Amino acid sequence: MRFPTIPGFDQQALEKYFKNTGMMFVGRIGSLAIKMFVGIAVANYLHRENNGILNGGTVYIYFFSAIATLGLDQFIVKELHQFPENRDEILGTSFWMKVFAGFSCIPLIYLAYLVYPAKATPYHFVLILSTIGVIQAFNVIDSYFQSQVQSKYIMQVQIAGNLVSAAIKMLLIYLKMPLVWFVYAYTADFALLSIGYFYTYQRKQRSVFNWSFNGKLAAKLLKYSWPLIISGIMVSLYMKIDALMVQNISGPKEAGAYATVANLSEVWNFIPSVIVTTLFPAILNARRDDIGRYNKRIQNLYDLMVYISLPIAVIVTFTSPLIYRILPFKPEYYYSAPALSVHIWSGVFVFLGAASSQYLIAENYSKLTFIRTGFGAVVNIGLNLLLIPGMGMMGAAVSTLVAYASATFVILLIPKVSKQGVMMLKSLFLISLIQKIIKK
């Protein structure tokens, strides 16, 4: 198949990136379908209270995921793109950095649980889940295949891992196993992916046993990634603190219902991740070769994010009651539909935020991500304290929407990147689209 010739684009490169994006979408959509089916089955089996207790345990893992990953993923891609001959050194250094960080997170998670324990969620659930930080160190292989624009291998691992995971969870439901088994199963999800990454890398005539650690490279990576680590913690706070606050303020039953809202709303968030991850090498190339094309690609990326996220938000807003009945959830979850109609709009700002983050990384402005995510976290926590006691999950949904919008557009107040905020506003209000139509 040949794609139409587009002036200014290399035909072979265009087809390569398009094919790679398609592969990533297939993998994510396949994984999404499997996870959604099994997630609903698990939620129905556990009922609202146990579903809330399980979700409360996973929240702590999200809080410290930025420390466990060290914010390295995009920088690994960037290093591999610039220095492909240092592959084993880059991957080995990143891997051991993540292993060390994963072990370091276990006592930190314990301290967080002591400071703000999740209501009704026992610590041994959290302890089991805290091993995920170490297990996911093999995700550096994912970054390697991204740098090679070979996401079909990641697609294969994700679909196979999710199929095995789904079979395990459905077996647990069939055998009527207690809640703790689902905690182990959730942890096993990450172990399955790591095993798949390891096997795939070895199968491609490469070996993890050739990896090596370089202290100078580790220092270099940390120098660039530490702002992303801090901002990642803030992202986790303003993305997941609402779930924990709902559980502690309104109880685990309300938290279990709200977990379905968050899952259905955030299920689309893989789309911007796939797009920006796949196009990041092309954006870097444009920055190196042609600044005009680089700026145009950034604007086109913002436009694309709005073209995808806006219709999703509109459709889900008007069909949320139907969604809960079709999927199908048990009737005890139906009252969550109005909260979903509000929460889904936060996705528009997630899409735009993901795109602008790539610009910050490309321009070495990653320190600014701390400002935007920190601001979002403060807004979210403050609004949750005000709204959840009286509005329950609806208060959490409103807080999340306002926090996401605030975090995305706070860059309007930062002079050296305010232009990006203006570009995002042009996309959000379809001004850029109108300009393109007029030019035609």
Using one digit for the tens of pLDDT, what is the confidence trace for 140-179?
888 777 777 666 777 788 888 889 999 999 999 999 999 9
Report domain extents, the chain: 11-439
pLDDT value of position 333 = 96
Looking up tokens 């701390």 gives: 370
Q: Is the pLDDT of residue 10 over 50?
A: no
* Residue (of 51, 24, 336) closest to 153 by Cα position: 24
Segment 279-300 shows an average pLDDT of 78
Contacts for 89 with CB less than 8 Å, ≥ 6 apart: 211, 212, 213, 214, 217
User: Based on the number of CB atoms within 10 Å of its own CB, is 101 exposed (0-12), middle (13-18) or buried (19 or more)?
Assistant: buried
Residue 348's pLDDT is what?
Answer: 96
The interaxial angle of helices 270-289 and 73-82, nearest 10 deg, is 30
Q: What is the pLDDT of residues 348-377, one digit of tens each?
A: 999 999 999 888 877 878 778 778 888 988
212 or 4, which is more confident: 212
Return the exposure string of 315-344: e unless at least 16 CB atoms fall within 10 Å of the residue's CB, then b.
Answer: ebeeebeebbeebebeeebeebbebbbbbb
- pLDDT surpassing 60 at residue 6: no
Per-residue pLDDT at 269 exceeds 60:
yes
What average pLDDT score do residues 247-265 get? 95
Residue 28: pLDDT band (50, 70, 90) is low
Q: Write phi, then psi, for 130 (nearest 5 degrees).
A: -70, -15
Percent of the chain with pLDDT over 90: 50
pTM of the shown model:
0.82
Secondary-structure percent of the chain, ordered helix, strand, coil, rounded to 5: 85, 0, 15
CB neighbour list of residue 76: distance below 8 Å, 6 or more residues apart? 90, 91, 94, 140, 143, 144, 147, 221
